Structure formats: C-alpha cells, structure tokens
Amino acid sequence: MHRDPALIERRLHRVLTQRIVPAVHADAVALDVAAWTVPGEPVPAAEALAASYEPVRPGHRWGPAWSTCWFRISGTVPAAWAGRRVEAVLDLGFDATKPGFAAEGLVHRADGSVVKALNPRNGWLTVAESAEGGEEFTYWIEAAANPLILDDGPGGVPFLPTRRGDRAAWLEDGGATAADEPLYRLARAELTVFEPGVWELAQDFDVLHGLITELPADSTRRWQVLDGVEAALDAVDLHDIAGTAAAARALLAPLLAERAGDSAHRISAVGHAHIDTAWLWPLRETVRKVTRTVANAVNLMDEHPEYRFVMSQAQQLAWLKEHRPELFARAAEKAAAGQFLPTGSLWVEPDTNITGGESLVRQFVHGKRFYLEEFGTETEEMWLPDTFGYNAALPQLMKLAGVRWFLTQKISWNTTNSFPHHTFWWEGIDGTRIFSHFPPVDTYNAELSGAELAHAERNFKEKGPAGRSLVPFGYGDGGGGPTREMLGRAARLADLAGSPRVDIEKPADFFEKAHAEYGAKAPVWSGELYLELHRGTLTSQLKTKQGNRRSEHLLREAELWCATATVRTGAAYPYAQLDRLWKTVLTHQFHDILPGSSIAWVHREAEETYARVTAELTALVDEAQRALAGPADADGAALVFNAAPYARGGVPALGAEPAPEPVPAASAPGGPLVLDNGLLRVQVDERGLVTSVFDLTEEREALPPGGSANLLQLHQDFPNQWDAWDVDVFYRNTVTDLTEADEVTAVDGGVRVVRTVGSSTVTQTLTLLPGARRLDIDTEVDWRERERLLKAAFPLDLRADHSRGEIQFGHTQRPTHSNTSWEAAKFEFCAHRWLHVAEPGWGMAVVNDSTYGHEITRDVREDGGTTTTVRLSLLRGARFPDPEADLGTHRLRYALVVGATLGDAIREGYAFNLPERRVPGSAASVAPLVSVDHEAVVVEAVKLADDGSGDVVVRLFESLGGRAVTTLAAGFPLAGAVLTDLLERPLPDAPAVDGGRLTLRPFQIVTVRLTPGA
C-alpha cells in the first residue's frame, strides 16, 4: 500500500477549515439589525441605548476611522431549536489575520451591563444555553472603527506614513472626505444552533493536525496519527457532519488518549492578553480594549473553571474600576476564586531604559499597592514581556518591592546575538539576583498551536537539567485574549504523546516549580538585558521625553519642598494631588509612549498632559518655597533653594541660603571667540565649532589635534522597518558635518552660533560660567527634517577603555571597543543625565537635560594618540507611525565637563537638571530635612510617608560603585528610624539604624523611614 502523508495533511486542512469549522454553527437565520453612529467621541452605554437606530442589513458600511457605531441586534429563537445551545454569530468586518488591530465590538444587555466582546476570532454570542424556543432577545453592540495603522499603505504594506494616527489634525488639514470614508462592512449577523459535537471534533482534528506537522517525518507516532486521522476523515459525511461527528471522534479518541509520559517537556500555559496602554490607538481606546478583554475573560471563566487569566497593568484595572465598575466587580469575584490573576507588580508595563530610577520605584509602589488594596494580592512577579531593553538596576528594585520572579519575552527580537538562556538568574549592578524566565515559545500572544509548542521545546536552551517553560497565550491589544478553542487545545494537550504536556497554571506555580527543579543550577546573566533592536526609541519624540524628564525632577522638588514645609511650618502636605500626578506620569512611561513609538494622537495628548503636570507641580513647589522663605522684605532679600543632592554655591544640598550677590559673566580676554574663566579656555572658530578646550589647571588640551567639538552631524535615517523604533547601523555610512554657519557672534558671556540644516535652523549659545569647569551649550532647533538623525559629536584626546553612563540608581560600564558581536551590537545605548570617559588621572563628562541616545567610538591617530568620540543623538525625523514626529521648535541643553571625575559627572548631572530657584523672603535660611556625609551617597527622594502618618521617608543610594559608610542626619527631632521596602514597610531582619549610621554596598538602595519626635 502506497501512502502519501502530504495528501492526508492537505485533505485534513481543507475539510477542517472549509467544512467542519463552518458546521459548528448550523441552521442560521438572519438577525434584525439596526445601527446608530455616534457623532463624535464614544458615549456611555446609557446614552447609546436610548438613541434612535436605523435598520441595516449585512453589507452595511460603517465606521469612519476612530468613530463608534452601535448596532442593535434582535430576534426570536425558533421553536424547533428548543433544548439546543443557540448563539449569534457576528462579523463586523473583521480581518481574521489581525486580531486586536482593527474593528472590535462589545455586547451589552438592555440594562447597559456588559456580556462579552466580539473580535476577529471570537465572533460568537450565547443567546441561550438550552433554548426553550420562542424567546425574544435584544442586544446592543458598541463597535469601534479603529483603523489598521500598521498596514495602512496600499496593498497592506507596513510602515508607510499615514495621517490616520491623528484624526483631529487630519480633519483640520482638510482631509474630511477621506476621514469620513467607512472602513468596515457588516459581513454577518445570524442566529445559529451551536453544535457541541462538531466543535469538539474540530478541536480534535486541530490538535492532531498540529502534531502531524511537527512530528519527525519518519516517527512512528506521526504515522499512527496519520492513519487514525485518515480513518476519521473517511467517517465524516460532509453532508451530515453533525450526524457523523461522534463516529469520527471515536476513531480519534485512542490517538488523543496516548500519554506523553513524565519525560515530556512541561508547558505552563498562562492566559494573557498583552494590551499596550497606548500605541496605534489613543489612551481612551485602551480603556475600551481593556473592557472588552476582561469581559471575554470572565465570560469564559463561567464555563471553564480551570481557566486562569493574568492582568499585568494596575492602571488598566484602575480604568476598569472607574469606567465599568460592574465588570470590575465581576473580575474581583473571579480573583477571589483564583481564576482572575492580578500580576506584574507595576502600574503599567513601562519603558525601563528611559524611565528614571525613582519613577521605577513608584511603578512598583503604585502597582503593588493597587493589587493589595483592591484584591488583597501581594504580587511576587515582574511581568514585562514587551519593552525595549531592561536596565541593570531592576533586580535590586524588584527585590526591594518584594518581587521574586521576572518574566520577559522581547529579547527574542535580538537581531545579532541569540540570548543564551531561557531560565536563569539575572544579576543587577549591586549583585542582587532574581530568578528569571524568557519563554522559548518566542511570543506573548500564543495560540497553543502545535507549531508554537514544538518550537518552545526545540528552542528551550536549558533542556536536560530543566524541563519546563511558560507560554503566555491569548490574543492581545484588543484581540480578546484567550478563546474557547485555545482552552480546547490545552485540554487535549495536557498529556498527549508527541507534544509537550500543557497545564493551565498561575505564573507563580510555574516559577515555584522551575525554581525547585533548576534554581540551584541555573546560569547567571550579569548586567543589563540590552535589546539589539529598537535603539531609535532613545531619541524619537523629543517633547514626550522632555515632558517626562522634567516631570520627574519636578516631582522630586515638589515632594522635597512640600515635606520640608510640612515639618518646618505645619503646612498641609498634598498627598492626594501628588498621588494623582505620580500616576499620570507613570502612565505615560508606558513602553510605547515614552519611547516615542505611538501615533501622533498619543504624543499630542502626552505633551498637553505634561504641560498640565508641569503647571501643577510648579505651583506646589512655589507655594512650599514661599512658606519656607517667609514674607518678602522691602530690601528685596531672597533665598536660593537647592534641590540637588550636592551643595553648590554655598547652598547645602536639599536646603536654602540667602542669595549671594550676582557674579559677573566669564570674560573673553582673547577676543570675541574665546571664553576664559581662569579654569578653562575655550576657542570657537569662524565656523562656530569648538576648536580648543584647554584645562588651565592641568595644562592639558581636551580635544585631539585638528579636532572640533560640538560638531553637529546629520545622517540619513531610514531603517529597514519600525521607523520610530529603529536606528540601523548602516546610518553611519552617510554623514554630513555641519560646518557652515550663518552667524557666529560674541554675546554677553558666550558665543552665539546660527546654522541652517536643510530646511531647519539651529541656534546655539555656548557659555562658560565663572568658577565652572563646564562648557554649556544651549540649543534651539526649528526642526523640519524627515528621515534624518541629528547628532552632536565631541572628539576627546584621551584613551578610554570603557565609558560609564548613568542608569537608574547607578551607572553601567561599557567597553569603547567592539571586539565581539555583543559589543558591536550596542552601537547606540542609553545614558541618562551624564556619560563619563577617562584615562587614569583625568576624565571628561557630557551631561544633558533631555537626551538618552549615546554613542562612543575610538580611533588611534597617526601621532599615536587615541581619540575617543562621544556622540549624543539629538533629534530624528521618523515618519511612522507619526509622519510629523518631532516637527517643530525644540530647546535642549548639554554640556562638556572638563577634567571630570566620576563624582563630578554625577554632581553636574544633577545640577544641570535641578536648577537653583531664587525666592523672595526674609528667612535666614532653610535647613535641610536630612543630610549625609559621604560624597558617594546620593539622596534620591525626600517625602512624607504615603500612609499619612507624618513620617519622613528618605531614599538614598551608593553612586560610585564602591562601599560607603555614612551618617543620615535628620534636621528635626527624631523618635525612631527603620529601614523599609519600597512600599515603606519595615524590612524583616533589617539592621537597626543606630545613630543614623548606614553601611552601603556598591550601588545599594536604602529606604529609611524617620518618625519625628516631640
């Protein structure tokens, strides 16, 4: 007998997809459908249910981009269907290949309560579990006409510029005709009988088809399955599938009963729906996506008690509580039953490269606190599958927040080096280790298909000593999460020969088992988890990044001065306002907002939000400082407030002193293009380039022979894909040095340079303040370039083997060479306020107020010397997903610090971002609430405890990478001091804070809670 397995596979695929799956819903009758289009933004359900509807039928076109159409469906269950399960099947115009990225619907009852969502692969609605016949019913569907931004080009080509990312701007620009064009067509609206036997047969065939395609061609098991499947196909009467399904299933039953055995790879399947808090849709649409997804999750839990589903962003559940309290209550009930699992420990799934250290602390604080208060759940995992790299301070932050486990997925997107582990210990810069997992399935939107599970097993790098991995399954981004078909697969794959064994479990169950199995032997990865992709997110959408940076520093100031005013003057502390403002800033640190990879709508709203945050925080700072400064005198006395963690200009860290007399600007004795303050002499030539930076103290030139600093360079920037996300290495192949100046003139205390850059204008002012070893460069750009990258280069005459760049609560050391592919892949990297390079005895730092993308290259000159070049990425001009990203006027500042030690770099980074504030007042001074006496110890936050007790909370860390012993002194009577976790709870077994004496290991973060005395 000659057998052709390919013939059987093709037959199975066609019969399954074209005959069996359609037969799941039988005896269809048309529904009565009416529609109402919302005139503007979405409205509450009560308003929609009371609206006037017009009859429509399949074929009806609806949905201009971003609009909402409500459909009312009604009908009567035929009497002949008594005792049967009756379902409505609806197709709003879905594209089944793109769940989550286009049209979605949410079904409501007459009282406005939610039933479930309708999605491209989940278009059914149960009308009656067991019909009586003759029942009348009506439902309302809120249908969202979200445009398919990613594939919006002709023919569905991705990454082409589209104006659909900002409806308001599109209309203002005269695009009303195109904006009003309906995107979708109602394709199906029928009442059907659900055939459970046919559905079960479809799942049987589906799972066995997955086995056939993944088992080795010559394996006995594959041939057994082929034979059984062929026999079952023969048993199916294509004209009576429901009547023959049981016979076919009986033939398949032995194949599905053969067990995998104890040695099979174990899959912990975790129901999940990754929902971007904003991306190719605005924040308001995320609120609706969350509602739809949670509605599906709890609906599915009613029929499947084994189903477990995780939600990983507290902000999204907070929105659900605010906008859909009845659905939130259902989720809370399922959480109490152990099915709905708040997880992740974070407020949102943030970017962890750009987000500041104290902000990451608050991501944990607000995330964990929400879960504790609303669900009584102490989360123990950091669930962050999708962000663009992971800084090396995170392990310590996780531990201090009570987190034991870490999960990510995005590192599978590396384009150069394959990450060598899937289960491992991740070690941070301070030595803290967190047990971590990187699912080998390589997706966080799995379907539990045979191909995915086989890939997970083949790909798993720890086979042998370890035998289990985790698979997050469910359609994300509004795709509706897991489906009943996925649960059907999981049930059949629980113990099936030829497949990994699948258990639906909680994340904690997986981590406990994996740790017990492999924790003692797991390898260690030390340092950052650098994503070898999406490097452009360090630079895209500058105004969004500036809004975040400035909000972070204003929050520091507001907490510091408000706490000081409360302790010193009894002023009320703005607990609720600060809580709200923190949550607003944290939400906008989501990993597609802060990195600049969202549509224009998102970034326009973010800029408006940051402006409101800035105004509120500035008002809080002003009010607190006025209370501390006292009434103004007629003689114009004023105090200078210093929020930086280092003293400067005679003003102590975190305190205020009387304002000194104004200091004259630095002189320029060598002519109009020479700046000299007795410490540095800087020469600027007729091109506006810095040609000499001479350290007068060390008698050393900072620039290499013939080198020019503050050299602006323009690159072509057209990555292969993912425009706003990526900077591909070939951008370096083309560069234009901007050496022509429109104007180079001496101004008071500095030099002004104006350049034309394509269609853009760059105006820079270079200043050298008295007593400073820092050349400040204030840059204003009217940016009109598209698909170009603007960098600022500083070639330095020093041989640095490595750089040190600020990250959260410390710094990361990186080699300046590219010996290996791992080093070469880090051609663009993140640093926060400063970057430092040095050779023994002398160094240089570059500090900034809003730049994150950095680059270092090293070259040996003909004279034998080495030029180490530091470059900052200032602006980009990506055209997708926002075709007008970064257009407009920007102001950004950076500076070159000469002869800088590592400590100097840290100090200047804070000073550059926390300017002194001059406030009229008659107070003699404002003593700091707290102080430390070791230069390496940085006070990062001073605030009042969140519980309203009046305790003062201080967070500090060791910044140089060494050990430090310091005394934390309180500037107020003290009743007690304890070390706490990030949630301000006393640490168990923590050493006593004896006399304020603290011993810190390298990069250690310490939170101290101080109770004021009488």
Q: pLDDT by residue (tens digit) across 918-936?
A: 999 999 999 999 999 999 9
Here the tokens at position 229 are 């499947």
**Would you state the pLDDT for residue 662?**
65
Cα–Cα distance for residue pair 649/762, rounded to 1 Å? 32
Among residues 216, 283, 396, the alpha carbon closest in space to that of 42 is found at 283
Do 830 and 807 touch, CB atoms closer than 8 A? Answer: yes
| Residue-level pLDDT at 819 | 96
Report the DSSP pairing between strands 842-848 and 888-898.
antiparallel
CB 969 within 8 A of CB 584: no
Q: Answer for the pair 269, 591: CB distance below 8 angstroms, yes or no.
A: no
Six-digit token string for 501: 């064994």
Distance set, CA 527 to CA 426, 429, 605, 965, 988 (Å)? 8, 6, 35, 25, 27
Active site residues per annotation: 386
The closest alpha carbon to 802, from 916, 913, 691, 902, belongs to 902
Residue 375 pLDDT:
98
Determine the straight-line distance between the first and last CA of the chain, rounded to whole angstroms: 96
DSSP conformation class of 990: P
CB 877 within 8 A of CB 806: no
Q: Can you list the positions of beta strands (E) in 59-145?
A: 61-62, 68-76, 85-91, 104-108, 114-118, 124-128, 136-144
- Whats the size of the chain, residue-wise? 1014
What are 953's strand-pairing partners? 943, 1009
Q: Report the pLDDT value the prediction gives residue 133, as an integer from 0 to 100.
A: 94
How far is the C-alpha of 205 from the C-alpha of 24, rounded, in Å? 13
User: For residue 859, which of 814, 899, 799 has the smallest C-alpha distance?
Assistant: 799
pLDDT at 748: 87
Give pLDDT, residue 911.
Answer: 98
**Nearest Cα to Cα of residue 282 among 580, 595, 606, 723:** 606
CA geometry: angle 902, 907, 912, nearest 5 deg: 125
- What are the residue ranges in the chain where pLDDT is below 70? 1, 169-179, 662-672
pLDDT in tens, 386-399: 999 999 999 999 99
CA distances from 525 to 7, 25, 160, 434 (A): 47, 51, 38, 10
Question: What's the token pair of residue 595?
Answer: 């990195």
Q: Is the dihedral of CA 854, 857, 863, 864 positive or negative?
A: positive
Looking up tokens 């004259």 gives 664
Cβ(881)–Cβ(724) below 8 Å: yes
What confidence score (pLDDT) does residue 672 get?
Answer: 62
